Structure 1
Amino acid sequence: MTNTKHSKKKTSPRTRLLAGTVAAAALGAGAFGAISANAAEPARAPAAVTADAGHPRDLTRTAHLTIDAATRAAQAALDAAESENQRVTVAVVDRNGNTVVTLRGDGAGPQSYESAVRKAFTAVSWNAPTSELAKRLESAPNLKDIPNTLFLAGGAPVATKGTPIAGIGVAGAPSGALDEKFAQAGVAALTR
């Protein structure tokens, strides 16, 4: 066996800096190429999530009123009021009580906007016409203290298979019975 000496050559700081810069540039170019290649590929859709058929109680289906349907209902209610020379505001809210459409007829009073929205909210919240709910105040007067509700005739719920999906509120006619009649015209426009 022969003994050989391994000599270690010292590298200057300048050489190490240059070598490090070249290595970083090579890594950066490789990473850029990988990112560019990934960006060029079309995005894949995530795998479909399927529910275990053994747990249907964990899932619910809901129906939602589209903006087109809400507008059609509001216009039908407004047309019904105008055909009787009544100046009203019509509001349609979704299942969660959010205002979807509001139509203020020519000459409708300034109070009619808020009243129509609150009647629609009240109707969808209880899935009942507000004229029926107003009768409940006799036995439960504190109902009127619930925020954003209005227990006056003029609100009608929109339901599918018994489940409320929207509320239509009308305000501004000289009687709640007329307001509710016009709201029902909006509901009817959705069931034709």
Structure 2
Amino acid sequence: MTHHTMTHTKKRLAATAAATALVVGAVGVISAQAASPAAGTTSSGGATAGTDPADRNLTRSTHLTVAAATKAAQAGLDAAAEEGQKVSVAVVDRNGNTLVTLRGDGAGPQSYVSAERKAFTAVSWNAPTSSLAGRLSQAPNLKDIPGTLFLPGGVPVQSKGAPIAGIGVAGAPSGDLDEKFARAGLAALKQ
């Protein structure tokens, strides 16, 4: 075997090893994301470095299931219907992605988007939107952040103090009512 052939073979073996490591790493990330939180997670839902050096490149987070999001949205919609209110209810995940949106019979066309934006705002700041609305007087540019809506009616869903989802309600004649119905959705998750 010539020196050139041996060098070429070594390069191919190194490339094959790198590709194998990449695939194994990707499978590990997918498995870590699919697994439920395990030892090594902090109380805020983040990950700590484990004994495996590859763990330092991973993070774990807690997500609400679609079934739980649907339960919360339906509970908010039911609470509004009991009071004769026509609303939309949205539930977003920790990343602000919509999991479920239910538009109640007769709810206004703007309520659908408003509910999603309130849920997004609540999870982004880990606070009810009613408390965030007051921040606009000190920082009016907050309203310019895409996807946000600083009106009452959004509440965060937390796990060990960390936000994992947001519930937003829109369409009632007042933000206080919207927030009351969002809180009914939150209460349903604790049953």
User: Is TM > 0.5 for Structure 1 vs Structure 2?
Assistant: yes
1:115-170 residue CA offsets vs partner (Å, 9 max, x unmatched): 00100000000010000000000111110000010000000000100111100000
Residue 169 of structure 2: aligned partner = 170
Residue 146 (structure 1) aligns with: 145
What pairs up with 1:1-192 in 2 under 5 angstroms? 53=51, 58-192=57-191
Q: C-alpha distance in 2, partners of 1:156/1:115? A: 13
Between the aligned partners of 1:52 and 1:98, the Cα distance in structure 2 is: 29
AA in 1 matched with 2:100 = V
When the two chains are superposed, the root-mean-square deviation of aligned CA atoms in Å is 2.1
Displacement after TM superposition at 1:191 (Å): 1.3
**Secondary structure, aligned partner of 2:102:** strand
Change (3 A) 1:62 1:106: same
> For residue 112 of structure 1, what is the amino acid of its counterpart?
S
1:72 maps to amino acid = K
2:137 is paired with a residue whose SS is coil
**3-state SS in 1 of match to 2:62:** coil
Q: d(CA) in 1 for partners of 2:95 and 2:106?
A: 29
> Quick one: percent identity of the two aligned structures?
73
Preserved CA contact (<8 Å) 2:154 2:166: yes
How many residues end up aligned between the 2 structures? 147
C-alpha distance in 1, partners of 2:150/2:56? 34
1:24 is aligned to none
Superposed CA offset, 1:3-42 (max 9, x none)? xxxxxxxxxxxxxxxxxxxxxxxxxxxxxxxxxxxxxxxx
> Could you tell me the TM-score, scaled by structure 1's length?
0.72
Question: How far is the alpha carbon of 1:54 from its aligned partner?
Answer: 6.6
1:52: Cα distance to partner? 5.2
Q: How far, CA to CA, are the matches of 2:117 and 2:108 in structure 1? A: 15
> 60-69 or 121-130: which moved more?
60-69
- Name the CA shift for 1:135/1:53 in 2 (closer, same or farther; >3 Å): same
1: CA distance between counterparts of 2:185 and 2:65?
Answer: 14
* Offset at residue 60 of structure 1 (A): 3.1
C-alpha distance after superposition, 1:64-116 (max 9, x if no partner): 11110000000000000001000000001111111110101110001101100
Q: Any conservation in 1 of the 2:50–2:56 contact (CA below 8 Å)?
A: no
Partner amino acid, structure 1, of 2:96: G
**Local SS of the residue matching 1:173:** coil
Instruction: Please state how far the C-alpha of 1:57 moved relative to its aligned partner.
Output: 5.5
Matched position secondary structure for 2:109: coil
1:58 Cα deviation (Å)?
4.7
Aligned to 2:150, the other structure's residue is in SS state coil
Which is higher, the Rg of structure 1 or of structure 2? 1
